[in-house]
Structure 1
Amino acid sequence: MVMAQSLFIALKAGDPDCQIDVLAPGWTFPLLEKMPEVTRSIAMPLSHGQFGLAERIKLGRQLRSEAYTRAIVLPNSWKSALVPFFASIPVRTGYIGECRWGLLNDARRLDKQKLTMTVQRFVALASPKNAEQPPAYPIPTLPIDPAQQAAVTETFQIQAGGNILALCPGAEYGPAKRWPSGHFAELARRKLAEGWQVWLFGSEKDRAVTGDINQKAGGSCVDFAGRTQLDQALDLLSLATAVVSNDSGLMHMAAALDKPLIAIYGSSDPGFTPPLHAKAQIVSLHLNCAPCFRRVCLLYPEDHPDHAHCLTGISPERILALLAG
């Protein structure tokens, strides 16, 4: 969603009067509300992986009354193109994906050699088919309301003064994108000893790993995992002095907040989905086996010393040096 903002900005640059409504899961709405380019958020009633043909047809027909002139479909799945089709939107743009001829009438062939980054692929859909590629892409920017920022600090009864290190140790995709919790804990211990606050961020699913980090760091971190709404996490991240994150949604949020950011990459490709900000520093060992895009390391068993070496081989000392520099 953060990378999609680059598309929204490009659309507004081409037509300042255009109205942009976004069909998306409801949990993303707090993020969309931070994007001034978006007029309205529309809830997708189906969760990821659900087909729900009847629900898609019903939603499409409900949206006909909005008289949209164009739809841009970012996911490449066949089912994602159904709602714009049944909404009778005259121009339906997207990549061919899963044989979507007919559902899309402005279908594009994706040239992966020219469009090497996800954000480029999104932004290219704002331009005509014959436009020069790759396109320049605007940098996502999420504005912060000082009043909301103050309200969230009051809600969680925290002091936001001094240096604050935000750690984002989760990654929804799987363990092959997660720097070891012991490494995060060592980072936390060292910065706590220097007088920094250390805040831990993540979803409910990340509570086990943030709890482990906090326990190994002596229980002195502030653990927000599973306790915040998306907009609250955004406001809290905006107070950080620096952020260290795996390749995750929180990483992209930190970049869009203009935070000094260290992004750690293992199985994923830092050239494909990098943090879109000049202040971001990317750390990757660039091993011959990477990027493998695996959820777990299949090259070596867990008890092998080289298991997930693309992550375990990135030392806390290396990250500390970047933070100090």
Structure 2
Amino acid sequence: MAKYLIVGPSWVGDMVMAQSLFKTIQLQDPEAIIDVIGPAWSSPIIARMAEVRRAITLKTGHGEWGISTRRKLGQSLQSEQYDEAIVLPRSWKSALVPFFAKVPKRVGYHGEQRYILLNERRKLDKKTLNQTVKRFVSLGVNKSIAYPPQNLPDPVLTVDKGNQAALYQSHSLDSSRPAVAMMAGAEYGPAKQWPLAHFHELAERLITQGYQVWILGGPKDINDGNVIIKDLGQHAHNLCGKTQLVDAIDLLAAAKLAISNDSGLMHVAAAVGTKVHGIYGSTSEAFTPPLTMNKVIHNLHLECSPCFKRTCPLEHTNCLNQLKPEQIIQSIQLDR
């Protein structure tokens, strides 16, 4: 039985995809103990992963060095006597906690001169490991085994039915209508955000077809949610800023469909088994697909995309503007 300390990523979607690594470790060693370090927001997600014993909160802000904080956390973990640490981010600071925890085997990719901090540094072959999930899982597979990793288990987050029922009641949601969850946020930048007018039109069409629509997101998405549900009546609910991340897990599990930009909540929806309609513009489903077979990808594949830019360098964002709601409506109707 081996004990693993894993330094998780700093984004919601990446943390969900990291569960494929945790599953891989347990497939190799069913008795493995896995603890995961992550930001405070990630604890509710990690708690829904059956493979993880403990979520360890790193009390630093995004992008913050926090060397003293990392040293103290690492020293506090020395008594755990972990056998191996896997560091998913490629930054120098992300490797500090396992170093200070004196974990004997510390694995990660080359990056930012981490020669002392990591004692097993692997070259990141971006052509072979052409997806984020492959890069994560590969670090948990012995280098002598087939490369890239052949078994990529999908993430599966557990669902709290009691919390789900409470959310229906507290937000006056209609249990008799199938729900469509929409995630219109794009924290990375506007080049990943399908137009709000398109979301509004799609929501209006779906409500007339008998659905209720839930807009999910954080406090930053409240205004966008209001734009989407404007004048749509009682079956349109802007839940942005009204729910916690753990609540979004349970609501997405209750939804019949999830329609989303390439975002963290899209990956959450995939991990609870909901049918995902993923909208891609400046990014690519080839690199960060929702890890489920139960999905439909909407991508115009224009000559200028994917550009992976935060804002459109050509100042037109045609990759998203020209993707009309009718295309998604037709796809949904084919499934009915």
TM-score, with length taken from structure 1: 0.95
1:36 shift after superposition: 0.6
Relative distance call for 1:121 and 1:54 in structure 2 (3 A) is same
Alignment partners' CA distance in 2, 1:231 and 1:190? 29
Aligned to 1:55: 69
Alignment partners' CA distance in 2, 1:186 and 1:217? 10
1:313 and 2:326 correspond: no
Identity of aligned residues (%): 47
Structure 2 residue corresponding to 1:93, chosen from 89, 107, 110: 107
Contact 1:160 1:239 in 2 (8 A): no
1:25 and 2:42 correspond: no
Aligned to 2:198: 183
1:82 and 2:91 correspond: no
Structure 2 residue corresponding to 1:108, chosen from 119, 122, 132: 122
Alignment partners' CA distance in 1, 2:257 and 2:108? 37
Alignment partners' CA distance in 1, 2:75 and 2:187? 33
1:196 shift after superposition: 1.2
How many residues are matched? 319
Aligned to 1:126: 140
Q: Aligned partner of 1:130: which letter?
A: S
Alignment partners' CA distance in 2, 1:322 and 1:239? 20
Q: Aligned partner of 1:212: which letter?
A: V
Q: In structure 2, the residue corresponding to 1:49 is in which secondary structure?
A: coil
1:16 shift after superposition: 0.9
1:219 shift after superposition: 6.9
Structure 1 residue corresponding to 2:261, chosen from 246, 251, 258: 246
Alignment partners' CA distance in 1, 2:211 and 2:234? 14
Aligned to 2:162: 147
Aligned to 1:304: none
Please give the per-residue CA displacement for 1:86-132, whole angstroms capped at 9, x wherever unaligned: 11100001101222112111111011111101001100111112322
Q: Aligned partner of 2:128: which letter?
A: K
Q: Aligned partner of 2:288: which letter?
A: T
Q: In structure 2, the residue corresponding to 1:222 is in which secondary structure?
A: strand
Two-structure CA RMSD over aligned residues (Å): 1.2
Q: In structure 2, the residue corresponding to 1:20 is in which secondary structure?
A: strand
Aligned to 2:9: none
Q: In structure 2, the residue corresponding to 1:262 is in which secondary structure?
A: strand
Please give the per-residue CA displacement for 1:270-308, whole angstroms capped at 9, x wherever unaligned: 1110001111111111112211111111212xxxxxx00
Q: Aligned partner of 1:158: which letter?
A: L
User: 5+ residue gaps in structure 2?
Assistant: 1-14
Contact 1:108 1:129 in 2 (8 A): no
Relative distance call for 1:118 and 1:35 in structure 2 (3 A) is same
Q: Aligned partner of 1:123: which letter?
A: V
Q: In structure 2, the residue corresponding to 1:104 is in which secondary structure?
A: coil
Alignment partners' CA distance in 2, 1:143 and 1:87? 30
Q: In structure 1, the residue corresponding to 2:55 is in which secondary structure?
A: strand
1:197 and 2:206 correspond: no
Aligned to 2:221: 206
Q: Aligned partner of 2:328: which letter?
A: I
Q: In structure 2, the residue corresponding to 1:31 is in which secondary structure?
A: helix
More deviation, 51-60/248-257: 51-60
Please give the per-residue CA displacement for 1:297-323, whole angstroms capped at 9, x wherever unaligned: 1212xxxxxx00000010000010111
Structure 1 residue corresponding to 2:303, chosen from 279, 285, 288: 288
Q: In structure 2, the residue corresponding to 1:238 is in which secondary structure?
A: helix
Please give the per-residue CA displacement for 1:236-261, whole angstroms capped at 9, x wherever unaligned: 11111111100001100111111111
1:195 shift after superposition: 2.0
Q: Aligned partner of 2:285: which letter?
A: P
User: 5+ residue gaps in structure 1?
Assistant: 301-306
Please give the per-residue CA displacement for 1:222-243, whole angstroms capped at 9, x wherever unaligned: 1110110111111111111111
Alignment of 1:1-16 (within 5 A): 1-16=15-30
Contact 1:71 1:91 in 2 (8 A): yes
1:275 and 2:275 correspond: no
Alignment partners' CA distance in 2, 1:112 and 1:132? 16
Q: Aligned partner of 1:263: which letter?
A: G
1:146 shift after superposition: 2.1
Q: In structure 2, the residue corresponding to 1:236 is in which secondary structure?
A: helix
Q: In structure 1, the residue corresponding to 2:37 is in which secondary structure?
A: strand
TM-score, with length taken from structure 2: 0.92
Contact 1:182 1:216 in 2 (8 A): no
